[in-house]
Chain A
């Protein structure tokens, strides 16, 4: 196995009395694409947010590129390595900032100087021309907004991308475009993906390995090949698989 870049051991996240994550462990190798599936409330997004420092975790360890992190404090290095794309492209872009301003912010925080060239290149990479640079997010379609969100994540040249349901708010036809864009970015930059989705079809398309989560616990971890051969042990995984095949009249 290649070098491990992201490792979570026995992570526990508690909201008031509610245990959202109950001792979850995972390990992601460099260049791997790892999927997390499960229904709402299974803790898959909580895990991703705890890694990104948006939720506090009570106990357990988080190691990213050999460095330990705790609570919700993350240093600047962390965000140079790890970036996140959220589910709702309508809610994750500032409504009163232009695309230019949105993309400038991460660059300014991390002290880049060649901002103009970088913004132009980032827009180009996500398939939006420079014509989009001075638009507001309400002037963009859902798919275009998600492209901007991806551009904002990639502009710092991170090594790891956390994707929280990046296409579930989009039409099926736009979803294909965004998934292709993400795959291409991963291939070109050798990125590591951790992707959350409730759609097994999407996860099996994008990932090499996936973990099935339920009620804050990891039910099992299987490779996509094993999933295709139905070589998994848990009944819950089978239920998800049946659900992903669509409606059947009984």
Chain B
């Protein structure tokens, strides 16, 4: 199987007044039609990795890589127009908070059709049909009504389902989900994850799932990359999470309070400077 996405030695750095900040320092992985999780704390470079693949890194940042290849297209040398045609069509991204990532002054239906019209020549009527079908696929019971609502009129869980609908309407081959459920309630989280899981399986997409919650990621993905200070410190199959070798991975696993485990105080993560080397 040829990989859908090849990332080799990806580096993202931001020049600042006080020197260069290296957010991502040599990340390498390949992705087929599978579910890959990227886990790490804030500032570990996990989101910047996703954004670099998507082409959403701010203009002043410097991206280098030996290879950054999506289905035979070299993303680093591709023109802006070429990347625009990929973004939303073949590579899509779900962001954390639907409150900020949906356009507040455009009805939901129109936003979904806007995505479609950018990439395909569809009539308004056909676009409307496809948008409604997509809303139904994310288990919105009354798509006709939701179609005309504004984002502030829907709940967070529904907003995130709309976001998923909008991202999947063009049938992307790679989906990057950056903390897709962190802003949601626990009960709603599971619903949204189940919808995402079903659609990814049905439509045969590659998925990169970015989160700080190692347990959640491992229950959702086939393979997990653990990042610390811009580097991948460990890569392991989700089934073998208990066999994690790196102390950082073990720390991430142990720091969550669970029902029935009485650990007072909770073990906290030790961060050793040598891990960042």
| Chain A residues in the interface with B (C-beta under 8 A) | 39-40, 141-142, 171-177, 179-180, 183-184, 198-202, 204-206, 227-228, 239-241, 243-244, 246-250
Contacts and interface: CB of A to CB of B under 8 A. Distances in A.
B195 to A, nearest CB: 12
Instruction: Tell me whether chain A's interface is mostly helix, strand or loop, or mixed.
Output: helix
Contact of B266 (A179, A247, A249): A179
Contact of B265 (A39, A142, A183, A250): A183
B77 interface: no
A173 B252 contact: yes
Contacts of A201: 256-259
A191 to B, nearest CB: 15
Q: Which 3 A-B pairs have the closest CB atoms?
A: A205-B257, A176-B255, A180-B265
A239 B41 contact: no
Interface residues of B, number: 34
B197 interface: yes
Contacts of B156: 40
A246 B155 CA distance: 22
Interface of B: 41-42, 155-156, 185-190, 193-194, 197, 212-216, 219-220, 251-252, 255-260, 264-269
Nearest to A242: B190
Instruction: Output the residue of B155, B251, B256, B267 with the most chain A CB within 10 A.
Output: B256
A141 B271 CA distance: 16
Given A204-B259, A247-B193, A176 B266 contact: yes
Contacts of A172: 212-214, 252, 255-256
Contact of B251 (A142, A173, A179): A173
A249 B193 CA distance: 10
B5 to A, nearest CB: 23
B255 A173 contact: yes
Contacts of B215: 246
